Amino acid sequence: RMANLPEWAESGATVLELRHHASLGSGGRSSRAEEARAVLASDAARVSSLQRRVGSYGLIRSPDAAAASKLAQVPVTSGARLRTLNYVATVGIGGGEATVIVDTASELTWVQCKPCDACHDQQEPLFDPSSSPSYAAVPCNSSSCDALRVATGMSGGQACDQPAACSYALSYRDGSCSRGVLAHDRLSLAGEDIEGFVFGCGTSNQGPFGGTSGLMGLGRSPLSLISQTTEQFGGVFSYCLPRKESGSSGSLVLGDDSSAYRNSTPIVYTAMVTDPLQGPFYMVSLTGISVGGEDVQSPGFSSGGGRAIVDSGTIITSLVPSVYAAVRAEFVRQLAEYPQAPPFSILDTCFDLTGLREVQVPSLKLAFDGGAEVEVDSKGVLYVVAGDASQVCLALAALRSEDDTPIIGNYQQKNLRVIFDTAASQIGFAQETCDYI
């Protein structure tokens, strides 16, 4: 039923599968709790890294989005068996295949390349530039190299001779990084070929990237995939993340053809926050939260704590301390009949639900500027640490400071169609069952 690059046709569109990272397999035998602790520790490091990056970017020029809109759909699946809770997709590059983590907070797509000085293990063969006739390194005096320096804040003061390749160095989370040269080659997305796609050919990479080949950069920057494909896709992409770690797939849709969506509620839109220092991030204004139908009151919504990043690569949603405390208090009040359990990693509000056949989970709704309201899927409210339900935690975390930027993570985005429309500078949300397979 599936081709080499998993895809299927629907409504005239080609759909590429979006999988949870689990689907690649890890081979590890650690316990559920040990796996969860490692994943959440990595998540906390990413949140800290994003906070450091938020203010460190200069003005990012908006891509020209006047081009005609087309559509490609990339299947997205879970990646939990690779010891992260990120989502991955398989694309073609230079005639080979690469399974990459989908990341809306990254400026650049990169894959591991031969010859590798230091590479993490990956399931697919390393990309070999010498085997691709369409591959070429990007010279350091090119506009692409300049754009990379602007996007990453790298200084461009060093001398550059024409033959020298443009080098890059990106760092993520806590010590994770990719270094190599900027190059261009043919990128294939569900049968749609992008000639001369600029990406990072990484020869020194480290971090919790599991068995993937690298990372798909979908951020708001000149070299991200969405900026480079404005002519094909009009600066619009969306995804639907499956809630199960295996046995189901969601989709990444490039382009604005809503006939490819399977949403069960109308799309509601909120404006992107435009901030010259926002870097590659997609920001919205979070104006309120309700728990079990009760609006949570907090001064944090109006004092800057409402400006939030919508991020595919962070797992747990993080709120400023004042907002989190109010949300936590309302959850504890509504779940008062259940015994509390010890905290777990970054999750400080846990319950012992052992032996209970049914638990009424309070609904969690997020309200955004312009009146958009989004209900979190019921499986995105609580995080089950122990298989026997002796430790089930509220799947939200507190940031360190009121000055930090809230992040809406992928655990709270399951079973939603999330639409990033850079042309109209808005983000849309709709309920959608993401179990495509």
Task: Please check the confidence at residue 224 and state whether its pLDDT lies above 80.
Answer: yes
Closest C-alpha to 380, from 351, 350, 411: 411
pLDDT of residue 18: 76
Question: Do 78-233 and 268-431 come out as alike in CATH topology?
Answer: yes
Give yes or no: 103 in active site. yes
Closest C-alpha to 94, from 212, 193, 16: 193
pLDDT of residue 162: 56
Task: Please check the confidence at residue 66 and state whether its pLDDT lies above 50.
Answer: no
Q: Over the stretch 95-131, which tens digit does the pLDDT of each residue have?
A: 899 999 999 988 899 999 999 999 988 989 999 999 9
Could you state, in order of their start, the residue ranges of all structural domains in the chain? 78-233, 268-431
Catalytic residue among 256, 311, 377, 404: 311
Determine the average pLDDT of the residues in 369-387: 93
| Core vs surface per residue 237-261: b (16+ CB within 10 A) or e | bbbbbbbbbeebbbbbbbbbbbebb
The mean of the pLDDT values for the chain is 83
pLDDT of residue 180: 95
| Count of helix runs (H) and strand runs (E) in the chain | 5, 28
Q: What is the three-class DSSP state of 400?
A: coil
Output the CATH code of domain 78-233.
2.40.70.10
pLDDT of residue 290: 97
Task: Please check the confidence at residue 28 and state whether its pLDDT lies above 70.
Answer: no
pLDDT of residue 318: 96
Q: Which CATH superfamily is domain 268-431 in?
A: Acid Proteases (2.40.70.10)
pLDDT of residue 204: 94
Task: Please check the confidence at residue 247 and state whether its pLDDT lies above 90.
Answer: no
Catalytic residue among 43, 103, 257, 377: 103
Quote the distance between the C-alpha of residue 123 and its chain's center. 21
Task: Please check the confidence at residue 275 and state whether its pLDDT lies above 90.
Answer: no
Give yes or no: 64 in active site. no
